[in-house]
Amino acid sequence: MARNNDSLAIMLLCCRMSATRQELFDPLSPQEYYSLAYRLRTHLHKTPEWLLGRSVGELMASLEITEQEAHRILVLMERMVSLSYELDSYDKNDIGIVTCADNRYPTRLTERLGQLAPPVLYVSGNMNLFHEPVLSFIGSVPGNAASEAETRKLMDAALTSSITIATGATSGLDRTAESILLKSGGKLIAWLPGGFDEVLAGGTLRDMINERRAAVLSIVHPLSPVRSSFARARSKCLYATGTVACLIGCEFKRGDTWEGASEALKNRYTDRLYCWDTDLFTGNKPLIERGAVAVADTAGIDFRRVRTRWEQDEGEQLSVFDDRHLIY
């Protein structure tokens, strides 16, 4: 894969070179990276590639940062050999890296999340799916007969309208949705709560990747285990991916699903959050009271409206004067 120098610099600044080994300095967090990118723009009118080959003294003088900050950047930027080995190992497993400086980076992430958007994504599959109308399906709760039936109705309606489905790739109703999409010829964007272990082992996601019907993404090192902190961070990306989102169930003030939905409503990570109007889950009614749109029958969601809004979004041009949209 061809990589520009800005992308290379962002990888060096933000990627971990091991899922388990502690490095001398931690890579930059999203907020730290965007703060540095802003400083590069405002102080030097430069992009991240300018950092390649710079000394501590140059970094301190040009960016007006401390010696400790400059030293951290220098050490991160000198990991070129380690990064080359990592990229080779990813390529062998059909995993790539997309940065916020790449054309393939999903623009909805920076539009919706601003400086919380991950500068680096680990990806496998068809990234063109991000240029299609998407429904984010929130289905990490364990299923029962009623919720599984509702999930099937929702998937059938979305498939009829040629809507791509995004999931959090966890157990529970996510698995039900993915199985339906696999068998019915649907398209899937899966946000992993950890690394690529499951994908590398084969199964539904691998099958759909091979058929170019899926894009699978992670915000952490491909060999990272599943962790609650990773799951919460990728939840933001899941909500931001879809023009709208639909939640089948969550428990009141319990777990990452409740937290993610509450945060998405508060910060408008998606244009509209539909919530199944049921008493089967204790969190659904409270979410509706907080602003989620109640739907007694998820198959009744107006997917024509979803497609129309997607067409509007695709036609809009980002303003270069809006810091929320400046990605590097």
Tens digit of each residue's pLDDT (9 = 90 or more) over 159-169:
999 999 999 99
| pLDDT of 322 strictly over 70 | no
| pLDDT of 99 strictly over 90 | yes
Query: How far is the C-alpha of 89 from the C-alpha of 208, rounded, in Å?
Result: 22
Do residue 201 and residue 284 come from a single domain? yes
Do residue 153 and residue 234 come from a single domain? yes
Is residue 99 in some structural domain?
Answer: no
| pLDDT of 70 strictly over 80 | yes
Do residue 133 and residue 51 come from a single domain? no
Do residue 18 and residue 144 come from a single domain? no
| pLDDT of 181 strictly over 90 | yes
Q: What is the mean pLDDT of residues 225-244?
A: 93
- Domain finish residue from 69, 92, 115: 92
Q: Who contacts 170 (Cβ-Cβ below 8 Å, separation ≥6)?
A: 140, 193, 231
Is residue 203 in some structural domain?
Answer: yes
Do residue 55 and residue 199 come from a single domain? no
The tokens describing 240, both together, are 């931001």
Residue with tokens 């965007």: 34
pLDDT at position 204 is 86
CATH assignment at residue 289: 3.40.50.450
Do residue 279 and residue 180 come from a single domain? yes
pLDDT at position 76 is 98
Do residue 63 and residue 152 come from a single domain? no
Do residue 40 and residue 171 come from a single domain? no
Q: What is the mean pLDDT of the chain?
A: 92
Is residue 13 in some structural domain?
Answer: yes
If one counts the domains in the chain, the total is 2
Highest mean pLDDT among 45-49, 193-197, 203-207, 312-316: 45-49
Do residue 160 and residue 306 come from a single domain? yes
Is residue 114 in some structural domain?
Answer: no
H/E run at residue 215: strand 214-218
pLDDT at position 315 is 62
pLDDT at position 2 is 55
Residue with tokens 């998407």: 134
The pLDDT-based confidence of 305 (bands split at 50, 70, 90) is confident
Instruction: Provide the residue range defining the domain that includes 189.
Output: 124-315
